[in-house]
Amino acid sequence: MPDSCAAVVHRLRWYVCCAMTAAAFCQLADASWAAEPGTPQVTGDVTDVVVVRSLERHPGSARLWEPYIAQWADRRLVVAFRAGIPEKTDMGDILCCVSPDDGKSWGEAIPIFDHRRENAAFAYANPVLYHPPAQDVLWCFAMRCPMARPHSEDSQLAAAYSGDGGRSWISVELVVHYSGPVIIVGGIQHLDGPAGRRYLLPVHRNSLRNDPRGSRDQFVLESTSLLEWRLPGATPGDAWLPEHGKEPGFVPQPADSQVFLHEGQLAPGDNGDLLMMMRTARYDRPGEALDPPRAFSSGSRNGGRTWSPAIAEPDLYNSVAKGFFGRATGGTYLYVYNDGKAFERRALRYKLKRPDEPWSPERTFFDGSVHNSYPTLLEYAPGQFYAVWDSGTVSAHRTAIRFGKLDLR
């Protein structure tokens, strides 16, 4: 072989070797979350799992958690998440990453709410993305928290919007006629009626944490514009009076007990009804699970204006952890949750309820004996869902944001 040909072959072999080494390194980096000794193989029905963002990419942040996903266009996805401030319980900055290829790869983190731009007066929590049908705008709702607080439970509603699919964001000041603190986790549900479109946002408050005359309540806010929010059916400037009847938008406590109902998730029911599934804890000790640990549900037949008293769901486990609740095209309900003890939060399981059938036996969503929590799903085709959740290692919570797909067909 001539010297020139030998040199070309040598260079080609070198390039191939480098490419294989780089590919192996990328696979190793993606799998680094499971590299601790004794970690078993991952199991579960979620597929195409990749890391959206890892804590190593955010020096100075305490944790990455509570992601939310939206679809901007075909194969164009946006995931928002929180990067925690050290020594704060659950406050930080809100960022997002964009995928141009249906979740196979994710771009650099883009700031939505940055506490440093607020002169350190405020921090943020709990992003909720929403892409209104037939609109070329993507919303991110979040909680704005006074920086002096140790936690986010004395927050007000904040929002920003993007007109370019999450590449840039503009903050807006909302008009909120409800004057108390709000905590958001669940997604927005839109309702169409004779008077036009209404948007419902599930929220709760835990003012009892710092105020002996406070309360722990689950309720909804409504809007016709996404800019102005109020309790359902309330008229701006009018005070609610007991003689008006049920408190508008609030979920009544169970008839026989008090339960800390929170982090509600909305889904459409039949004949225009609404269902809400809620995380639970003891009312007097909100860090402790109920006995037995169960999710509670409530329903509304008038567009969220009033709700039925909350009742226990005997087939749905909840131990002080967010669960995802939604409905697929065709009417199948989906519930994704953590099993195990309160705040253990390792495996994610799920159950299905097909029309006219009971809830299915428990199935595994994602389990690698590492920490996982706060799943959010989005149906992109009948029975097919995008999924995001925060993940960790055997010994550490919330060191990565993960993406995957779940097929219920």
Handedness of CA 326, 80, 179, 237 (dihedral sign): negative
Which residues sit opposite 403 in a β-bridge? 50, 388
pLDDT range class, residue 44, cuts 50, 70, 90: very high
Looking up tokens 């030998």, which residue turns up?
Answer: 6
pLDDT at residue 161 greater than cutoff 60: yes
| pLDDT score recorded for residue 120 | 77
| pLDDT score recorded for residue 28 | 36
pLDDT range class, residue 156, cuts 50, 70, 90: very high
For the chain, helix, strand, coil in percent to 5 are 10, 45, 45
Long-range contacts of 112-115 (CB under 8 A, 24+ apart): 112/80, 112/140, 112/142, 112/160, 112/169, 113/140, 113/142, 113/144, 113/158, 113/160, 113/171, 115/85, 115/91, 115/147
Total domains present in the chain: 1
3-state secondary structure of 168: coil
Q: Please check whether residue 178 lies inside any domain of the structure.
A: yes
Q: Please check whether residue 34 lies inside any domain of the structure.
A: no
3-state secondary structure of 389: strand
Nearest partner of 281 among 211, 218, 214, 350, judged by Cα = 218
How far CA 24 is from CA of 17, 30, 407, in Å, comes to 11, 10, 28
pLDDT range class, residue 23, cuts 50, 70, 90: very low
pLDDT at residue 119 greater than cutoff 80: no
Domain that holds residue 189: 46-407
Q: Please check whether residue 25 lies inside any domain of the structure.
A: no
Catalogue the E-assigned strands of 207-258: 216-223, 228-229
Q: Please check whether residue 375 lies inside any domain of the structure.
A: yes
Nearest partner of 200 among 186, 210, 214, 183, judged by Cα = 186
Residue 383, token pair as written in the block: 């029975």
Q: Please check whether residue 299 lies inside any domain of the structure.
A: yes
pLDDT above 90 coverage of the chain, percent: 83
pLDDT range class, residue 233, cuts 50, 70, 90: confident
Angstrom distance (rounded) from CA 196 to CA 190:
10
Residues in the chain: 409
Q: Please check whether residue 215 lies inside any domain of the structure.
A: yes
Q: What would the pLDDT profile of 75-92 be if each residue is shown by its tens digit?
A: 999 999 999 999 999 999
DSSP single-letter state for residue 154: S
DSSP single-letter state for residue 152: S
H-only helix segments in 146-241: none
Cis peptide bond N-terminal to 292, omega within 30: yes
Residue 74, token pair as written in the block: 């075909």
pTM confidence score: 0.89
Residue 355, token pair as written in the block: 């029309």
pLDDT at residue 39 greater than cutoff 60: no
Q: Please check whether residue 22 lies inside any domain of the structure.
A: no
| pLDDT score recorded for residue 1 | 46
Longest alpha-carbon distance in the chain: 98
Q: What would the pLDDT profile of 256-308 be if each residue is shown by its tens digit?
A: 999 999 999 999 999 889 999 999 999 999 999 999 999 999 999 999 999 99
Which residues sit opposite 156 in a β-bridge? 144
Angstrom distance (rounded) from CA 394 to CA 369:
6
Q: What would the pLDDT profile of 54-75 be if each residue is shown by its tens digit?
A: 999 999 999 999 999 999 999 9
DSSP single-letter state for residue 246: S
Q: Please check whether residue 8 lies inside any domain of the structure.
A: no
DSSP single-letter state for residue 2: -
Nearest partner of 333 among 276, 396, 264, 405, judged by Cα = 276
Q: Which residue has the higher pLDDT, 221 or 240?
A: 221
Instruction: Give the mean pLDDT of 195-208.
Output: 96
Return the CATH number at 238: 2.120.10.10
pLDDT range class, residue 236, cuts 50, 70, 90: low
